[in-house]
Amino acid sequence: MIRIDHISKRFKKLQVLDNISVVFEKGQVISLIGPNGSGKTTLIKSILGMVKPNTGKIFVNEQIIDNDPGYRKIIGYMPQIGRYPDNMKIGQLFSMLKQIRKTETSQTDEELIKKFELEKIFEKPMRTLSGGTRQKVSAAIAFLFDPAILILDEPTAGLDPLASEILKEKIIAEKKKNKLILITSHILSDLDEITTHVMYMQEGKMQFIKDMGTLQEETGELRLGKAIARIMKGDIINSEWIDKMFEPKNDEKIY
Amino acid sequence: MLKLSRYVLYDILRSKIVIAYTIFLFVVSLSMFQMEDNSSKAMLSLLNIVLIVLPLVSLVFTTIHYYNSYEFIELMSSQPMSRTRILLSEYAGVAISLLSAFFIGVGIPVLLFAPNEIGFALLFSGVSLTLVFTSIAFYAAVVARDKARGIGFALLLWFYFALIYDSLVLLILFSFSDYPLEKITLLLSALNPIDLGRIFIMLKMDISALMGYTGALYKDFFGSGTGILFTTGIMLLWIILPLWLAVRKFRKKDL
Amino acid sequence: MKCLISIVLFFALNTSFASTIIVGKDKVITSLKQAIKIAKTGDTILLNAGTYKEGNIIVDKSIHLIGVNTPILDGESKNEILTLTGKNIFISGIHFANAGYSSMNDFAGLKIIDATNILIEKNIFSNTSFAIHIANSMHCTIRNNSIKGTNKSEHSSGNGIHLWKCSRMLIENNMLQGHRDGIYLEFVSHSTIRKNWSEKNIRYGLHFMFSSDNSYLSNTFRNNGAGVAVMYSKKVIMLNNHFEQNWGASAYGILLKDITDSRIQYNTFFKNTIAIHMEGSSRIQIEKNIFKENGWGIKVQSSCDENNFRFNNFYGNSFDLATNGSMMLNYFSSNYWDKYEGYDINKDGTGDIPYHPVSMYSMIVEQNPHALLLMRSFTISLLDKAEKAIPGLTPANLVDNQPMMKPNKL
Query: CA angle, corner B99, sides to B96 and B104, nearest 5?
Result: 125
Number of domains making up chain C: 2
Rounded to whole angstroms, the Cα distance separating A209 from A205 reads 11
Summary count for chain A: helices (H), strands (E): 8, 10
Residue C366 lies in a domain: no
Q: What are the φ/ψ torsions at residue A180 (nearest 5 degrees)?
A: -95, 125
The interface pTM score, or ipTM, of the predicted complex is 0.82
Average pLDDT over residues C281-302: 93
- Most confident region among A38-42, B152-156, B212-216 by mean pLDDT: B152-156
**Model pTM?**
0.81
Residue A253 lies in a domain: no
Residue A110 is predicted with a pLDDT of 86
- Strands A55-60, A2-11: parallel, antiparallel or unpaired by DSSP? antiparallel
* Side-by-side strand order, sheet with A29-33: A75-78, A149-153, A180-184, A29-33, A197-202, A205-211
Residue A236 is predicted with a pLDDT of 39
Q: How many angstroms away from the CA of B21 is the closest CA of chain A?
A: 17
Beta carbons within 10 angstroms of residue C390's beta carbon = 6
DSSP letter, residue B160: I
Instruction: Give the pLDDT band of residue B3 (cuts 50, 70, 90).
Output: confident
Residue A254 lies in a domain: no
DSSP letter, residue B106: I
Q: How far is CA A32 from CA A49, A182, A198, A200, in A?
A: 18, 7, 6, 6
Rounded to whole angstroms, the Cα distance separating A180 from A48 reads 14
Residues C194 and C248 in one domain: no
Instruction: Give the pLDDT band of residue A247 (cuts 50, 70, 90).
Output: very low
The range of the structural domain enclosing residue B145 comes to 2-252
% residues pLDDT > 90 (chain C)? 56
Q: CATH number for the domain including A119?
A: 3.40.50.300
Residues C58 and C99 in one domain: yes
Q: Which residues pair with C255 in a beta bridge?
A: C229, C277
Average pLDDT over residues A58-64: 88
- Average pLDDT of chain A, as a whole number: 82
Average pLDDT over residues A131-139: 90
Q: 3-class SS at A213?
A: helix
Residue C282, pLDDT > 90, answer yes
Query: CA angle, corner A136, sides to A250 and A42, nearest 5?
Result: 85
**Range scoring the smallest mean pLDDT among C23-27, C107-111, C174-178, C393-397:** C393-397
Residue C389 is predicted with a pLDDT of 77
Instruction: Give the pLDDT band of residue A75 (cuts 50, 70, 90).
Output: very high
- Average pLDDT of chain C, as a whole number: 88
Number of domains making up chain A: 1
Chain C CB contacts of B166 below 8 Å: 374, 377-380
User: Residue C369: which of B44, B189, B211 has the nearest Cβ?
Assistant: B211
Q: CATH number for the domain including C26?
A: 2.160.20.10
Side chain identity at residue C99, one-letter code: A
Q: Which residue has the higher pLDDT, B112 or A230?
A: B112
Residue C373 lies in a domain: no
Q: What is the pLDDT of residues A21-31, one digit of tens each?
A: 899 988 888 98
Residues C242 and C314 in one domain: yes
Alpha helices in B54-192 (DSSP H): 54-68, 70-77, 83-102, 108-113, 117-143, 147-159, 165-175, 182-190
Instruction: Give the pLDDT band of residue A239 (cuts 50, 70, 90).
Output: very low
Residue C376 lies in a domain: no
Which subunits sit against B, judged by 3+ Cβ pairs under 8 A?
A: A, C
Residue C238, pLDDT > 90, answer yes
Q: Are the beta carbons of B151 and B64 closer than 8 angstroms?
A: yes
Q: Count the alpha carbons within 13 Å of A115 in the hemisphere toward its beta carbon.
A: 18
User: Residue C370: which of B202, B214, B216 has the nearest Cβ?
Assistant: B214
Q: 3-class SS at C175?
A: strand
Please judge whether B78 and A75 are an interchain contact, meaning their C-beta atoms are less than 8 angstroms apart. yes
Rounded to whole angstroms, the Cα distance separating C34 from A173 reads 126
- Most confident region among A175-179, B203-207, C217-221 by mean pLDDT: C217-221
Which of C300, C216, C224 lies closest to C256, judged by CA?
A: C300
Average pLDDT over residues B154-179: 89
Residue of C nearest to B43 (CA): C376
- Strands A205-211, C51-52: parallel, antiparallel or unpaired by DSSP? unpaired
Whether the CB of A84 is below 8 Å from some CB of chain B: the reply is yes
Rounded to whole angstroms, the Cα distance separating A74 from A143 reads 11
Rounded to whole angstroms, the Cα distance separating C380 from B194 reads 14
Which of B81, B255, B3 lies closest to A72, judged by CA?
A: B81
Residue B140 is predicted with a pLDDT of 93
Residue C14, pLDDT > 60, answer no
Q: What contacts B195, CB < 8 A, 6 or more positions away? A: B165, B166, B169, B188, B189, C373, C374, C377
Residue B190, pLDDT > 90, answer no
Render C316-333 in DSSP notation, one character per residue. Answer: S-SEEEEESSS--EEEEE
Q: Are the beta carbons of B251 and B73 closer than 8 angstroms?
A: no
Please judge whether B255 and A71 are an interchain contact, meaning their C-beta atoms are less than 8 angstroms apart. no
The range of the structural domain enclosing residue C316 comes to 226-358+395-410
Residue C4 lies in a domain: no
Instruction: Give the pLDDT band of residue C193 (cuts 50, 70, 90).
Output: very high
Q: What is the pLDDT of residues B67-124, one digit of tens each?
A: 988 888 988 888 888 899 999 999 999 999 999 999 999 999 999 988 888 899 899 9
Q: What is the pLDDT of residues C65-95, one digit of tens each?
A: 999 999 999 988 888 899 999 999 999 999 9
The range of the structural domain enclosing residue A240 comes to 2-246
Q: 3-class SS at A201?
A: strand
Q: How many angstroms away from the CA of A139 is the closest CA of chain B?
A: 12
Task: Count residue pairs from A and B with Cβ separation < 8 A.
Answer: 86
Residues C242 and C201 in one domain: no
Residue A66 lies in a domain: yes
The phi-psi region of residue A211 (left if phi > 0; otherwise alpha if psi is between -120 and 50; otherwise beta) is beta
Residue B21 is predicted with a pLDDT of 94
Number of domains making up chain B: 1
Q: Are the beta carbons of A27 and A187 closer than 8 angstroms?
A: no
Residue B12 is predicted with a pLDDT of 87
